[in-house]
Amino acid sequence: MIVDSWERLRDVSRHTSTRVSGPGEFRATGPSEFRLPERGASAPFTPVSSAITLAAPGEERELPLSLTDLGVSYTLIMKKLINDPDDVVDEMLDGMTAAYPDRFRRLPDTQVVVRDDAPVEGKVALVTGGGSGHEPTHAGYVGDGMLDGAAAGDVFSSPTADEFEALIDACDAGDGVLAIIKNYEGDVMNFETAIELAEMEGVEVESVVVNDDVAVEDSLYTSGRRGVCGTILVHKAAGAKAAEGADLSEVKRVAEKVIDNVGTMGTALTSCVTPEKGEPTFDLGDDEIELGIGIHGEPGTERTELMNADEITDALTEAVLDDLDLDEGQEVLTIVNGMGGTPQMELFVVNRRLQELLGERDLETWDAWVGDYMTSLDMAGASITVCAVDEELKELLAAPADTPALTRTQ
Amino acid sequence: MSREGRTDGGTADEATEGAAVVAAVEAVADRIEDERDHLTELDSAIGDADHGGNMARGWAAAADAARDLDDPDPQSVCRTVGKTLMAEVGGASGPLFGGSFVFASAELDDGVTAESAVAFAETYLQKVEDRGDARVGDQTVVDALTPAVHTFKKSIETDELPPLEALAKAVDAAERGVAFTVPIRAKKGRASYLGWRSVGHQDPGATSALYILEELLATAADALDSEVPDADATSPTIPDEEPDDAAGDGEGDAPPEDGD
């Protein structure tokens, strides 16, 4: 790897061995190749510490320490409202529970948030979890009529199995637990391990895996389709069913019904910057957009020239509708979901075109949601979700819910 | 069935065995720490370069947790190690390496015997296969574990070898399994996204598994006051005897009757 800007130094500093050569250039052994940044920022690499100042051009030395260990100071080209990147999830959860002290409590020594009144007697518990950086997903949907608790992993990383296990234990009131898992390998493996452990302790647990992203069959993080914004509808419908007092198999059936009838596709206008890396997770030119993105800053399926809102909406909607293959007259719920860095103004512009398109296809919009439901940090972009609904799903999706991120009143 | 595998003959055994297992965990932690950069290097070629760091952190924590146990018996040590790995390693390796330890530890109700060690190994492999949905030939940890577990089981149950010798054979088998990951294409895990480019790379998870088994063998030899025996997993110990369940398939492997 060739380090070519201060921006990249943070990455290098994490490696244990850093090879330095000549003045003005670092060479480091590292995990991947770093490309030259398109847009300037190639600051000079004059090391601050004398320990790595090499006078002779071409001179190379293997340094046993990281740059941070050597006392090299550098400025991150990243503006974020964070303190230490390592603390960001912890501090977010503390802030969240401080914002909703009557709704939430955080299990001690975990990154798990549960309803303040968990376990709720006489009700199947709904739990979920996944990486952080998708707020208001996941904890934003904890509350009456939706989830009983959620485990937060580090940014874009699955929670560990012991955290999922603590979540299940804290939410189970004896009527069983439904785990709603988004299809990512880490999430699935850690959740399944936790479920097996909980079952050994006598907890009845069922799980569903949401895979609504129509863009890809396999991705960097999954075998099979990814789970994205359609997951919110699973939380809502299954949560309403559980609130009615339905048993575990009924709640699971409803969750699967949503999964069978929902599709999503997203686009990115920009990449996103993780607190940890401090740099975009993929490079996207000023005049390019990425179609078929996931929610972890992973590249999409197709990179195209920038298009206007209607053209993008057409591309996304057609992909979703082709996949769902709905009958004329079918009633649908739609979501235009912001990826975190897109103003509502633009989301409504997208929704306008989406509703036009549905009309052209003779589909009936039963409800249209617009907002940030499942984000990808500061990514600019949006995803479009379409879910075919019948009388049962309509009733459940409209049922009362009271959570920080989604409220429905009768 | 051979009982020679007990690290003691008497009843104070759980404690002695427990101490030996703790020693093994400490040895593994040291070894993984030593190999951390190598594992990271292997992972950086095909994955996200975090295997060395994650495993080193996990095993160091596991060794601490094992040392802190009040009354360590093999089962409690293994369960503690598994739980700690699950919590500290994260990603897919946490449930694969750690979760499987927790489930396999259920086989150690009566301490470590030749039989319970075989059962432990089989359960561990089964859990890794199920959780990771991986089979031999996918360029994963399963490629190291499968030959190791099969060789161990056969050495104990069919050949009735002393457990230390069986374990030495298992380590040799694991080494061959690790070598096998190099020329094949990854079908599971991060490396699978490289497609054909994964060919030619040694799997980091399989490599970790080999280090763990090597330290287990070294510690077992220590505990038994023995040398680590030389072992070759490919030398049939009882050449004339075929496993019962393979007898029916024998004809398929026979050379054609008329060669030309």
Question: Taking chain B, what is the end-to-end CA distance rounded to the nearest angstrom?
Answer: 47
- State the average pLDDT for chain B: 87
Pinpoint the alpha helices (H) of A181-282.
185-200, 231-243, 248-260
* Contact between A192 and B131 using a beta-carbon 8 Å cutoff: yes
In this prediction the pTM is 0.82
Find residue A371's DSSP bridge partners. A337
Cα A245-A250-A251 angle, rounded to 5 deg = 70
* Contact between B95 and A30 using a beta-carbon 8 Å cutoff: no
pLDDT interval class at B196 (50, 70, 90): confident
Instruction: Give mean pLDDT, residues A294-312.
Output: 86
Instruction: Round to whole Å and give the CA distance between A178 and A168.
Output: 9
Chain B residues within 8 A of A220 when measuring between CB atoms? 190, 193
The CA distance from B50 to the nearest CA of chain A, in Å, is 9
Query: What are the tokens at A95?
Result: 């802030």
pLDDT tens profile A225-263: 899 999 999 999 999 999 999 999 999 999 999 999 999
The answer to whether the beta carbons of residues A162 and B83 sit under 8 Å apart is yes
Report whether pLDDT(B184) > 80. Answer: yes
The answer to whether the beta carbons of residues A367 and A333 sit under 8 Å apart is yes
The region, left, alpha or beta by phi > 0 then psi within -120 to 50, assigned to residue A53 is beta
Chain A residues within 8 A of B193 when measuring between CB atoms? 218, 220
Kindly tell me the sign of the dihedral angle through the C-alpha atoms of B191, B194, B200, B201.
negative
Per-residue confidence (pLDDT) for residue A56, from 0 to 100: 52
Report whether pLDDT(A299) > 80. Answer: no
* Contact between B86 and A192 using a beta-carbon 8 Å cutoff: no
Per-residue confidence (pLDDT) for residue A71, from 0 to 100: 41
Q: With an 8 Å Cβ cutoff, is A308 touching chain B?
A: no
Q: To probe the interface with A, which of B131, B133, B190, B197 has the most A CB atoms within 10 Å?
A: B131
Q: Is A284 helix (H, G, I), strand (E, B) or coil?
A: coil
Report whether pLDDT(A342) > 50. Answer: yes
Per-residue confidence (pLDDT) for residue A234, from 0 to 100: 98
Chain B residues within 8 A of A160 when measuring between CB atoms? 86-90, 94
The answer to whether the beta carbons of residues A216 and A204 sit under 8 Å apart is no
pLDDT interval class at B86 (50, 70, 90): very high
Per-residue confidence (pLDDT) for residue A78, from 0 to 100: 62
Q: With an 8 Å Cβ cutoff, is B92 touching chain A?
A: yes
The answer to whether the beta carbons of residues A311 and A354 sit under 8 Å apart is no
Per-residue confidence (pLDDT) for residue B44, from 0 to 100: 85
Instruction: Count interface pairs A-B at CB distance under 8 A.
Output: 68
Per-residue confidence (pLDDT) for residue A58, from 0 to 100: 52
* Contact between B90 and A160 using a beta-carbon 8 Å cutoff: yes
Q: With an 8 Å Cβ cutoff, is B229 touching chain A?
A: no
Q: What is the largest distance, in Å, between two alpha-carbon atoms of chain B?
A: 70
Our measurement of the distance from residue A316's CA atom to the centroid of its chain's CA atoms, rounded to an integer in Å, reads 19
Report whether pLDDT(A2) > 80. Answer: no
**ipTM at complex level:** 0.81
- Of B80 and A70, the one with more pLDDT: B80
Q: With an 8 Å Cβ cutoff, is A17 touching chain B?
A: yes
The answer to whether the beta carbons of residues A261 and A321 sit under 8 Å apart is no
Instruction: Round to whole Å and give the CA distance between A185 and B94.
Output: 12
10 Å CB burial of residue A22 (0-12, 13-18, 19+) is middle
Per-residue confidence (pLDDT) for residue B12, from 0 to 100: 57
Report the chain B residue with the minimal C-alpha distance to residue A162: B87
Instruction: Please state which of the ranges A75-84, A121-130, B113-122, B172-181 shows the lowest mean pLDDT.
Output: A75-84
- State the average pLDDT for chain A: 84
pLDDT interval class at B242 (50, 70, 90): low
pLDDT tens profile A262-273: 999 999 999 888
Report whether pLDDT(B103) > 70. Answer: yes
Instruction: Give mean pLDDT, residues A95-122.
Output: 97
Chain A residues within 8 A of B99 when measuring between CB atoms? 161, 189, 193, 196-197
pLDDT tens profile A7-57: 344 444 444 344 444 444 444 333 222 332 333 333 333 333 323 444 455
Chain B residues within 8 A of A297 when measuring between CB atoms? none
Instruction: Give mean pLDDT, residues A153-157.
Output: 92
Percent of chain B with pLDDT over 70: 86
- Domains of chain B (ranges; CATH) run 13-234 (1.25.40.340)
Q: Residue B237: name the closest of B165, B171, B172, B175 by CA.
A: B165
Instruction: Round to whole Å and give the CA distance between B220 and B154.
Output: 19
Q: To probe the interface with B, which of A11, A158, A160, A276 has the most B CB atoms within 10 Å?
A: A160
The answer to whether the beta carbons of residues A88 and A275 sit under 8 Å apart is yes
* Contact between B48 and A31 using a beta-carbon 8 Å cutoff: yes
Instruction: Please state which of the ranges A149-153, A205-209, B244-248 shows the lowest mean pLDDT.
Output: B244-248
Per-residue confidence (pLDDT) for residue B48, from 0 to 100: 75
Per-residue confidence (pLDDT) for residue B237, from 0 to 100: 67
Distances (CA, A) of B246 to A312, B13, B250, B252: 60, 38, 7, 11
pLDDT interval class at B238 (50, 70, 90): low
* Contact between A162 and B92 using a beta-carbon 8 Å cutoff: no
